[in-house]
Homo-oligomer: A and B are copies of this chain.
Amino acid sequence: MNLVQEFTLTAALKPPLPIGDGPIGTRVYYEVAGGEIVGDRIRGKLLGGGEWALIGPDGFLRLDVRLQVETHDGAYLYIQYFGLLELNEAVQSALADGTGTEYGDQYFFTNPRIETGDERYAWVNTTFFIGEGRMLPNLGVGYRVCRPA
């Protein structure tokens, strides 16, 4: 399977809400403060969203993310994804110090699904996306999002 990059996505996060140790793990919520997506076929700004994370006993954070996007030309998108983030030393330092990491510094992958009713972007409804992530300075995340070529 060959993958080609479709867009990058960056999201600034607000400080987490510690929901705490619940029935299926340690829940932490990060509200999305802003961000953007940038690609050849699609670009826009995040209108909001959230990350409902579960921190497991295995040192991995499981993401459950929902985002709203407005494209530069007025289409609205809904993006949702699950994902896996290894809370290794690089990520823990980034979270603690507000620094960033590079792609490959951590195991961080997602599978975005995108919905829209705007005909100009109908292709996103039928595209399978894979995102690789990294931490951005000042509590943020960045992804390069690919699709099968």
Q: Report the separation of the CA atoms of residues A54 and B56 in the bound assembly, to the nearest whole angstrom.
A: 14
* Measured CA separation A36–B100 after assembly (Å): 36
| A125 part of interface (Cβ distance < 8 Å) | yes
A contact set with B: CB distance below 8 Å:
1, 3, 17-27, 29, 31, 47-48, 50, 52, 54, 56-58, 60, 62, 66, 68, 70, 76-78, 82-84, 86, 107, 109, 111, 113, 115-118, 122, 125-128, 130, 132, 144, 146, 148
Give the docked Cα–Cα distance between A148 and B19 (Å).
Answer: 25
Report 29 cross-chain contacts, Cβ distance below 8 Å, ordered by A residue.
A1-B132, A3-B3, A17-B47, A17-B70, A18-B76, A19-B78, A20-B117, A20-B118, A22-B115, A22-B125, A23-B56, A23-B126, A24-B24, A24-B54, A29-B78, A48-B50, A50-B50, A52-B66, A58-B125, A60-B126, A82-B113, A83-B128, A84-B126, A84-B128, A86-B126, A107-B128, A109-B128, A111-B128, A132-B148
A146 near B1 with CB under 8 A, answer: yes
Q: Which residues of B contact A52 (CB under 8 A)?
A: 66, 78
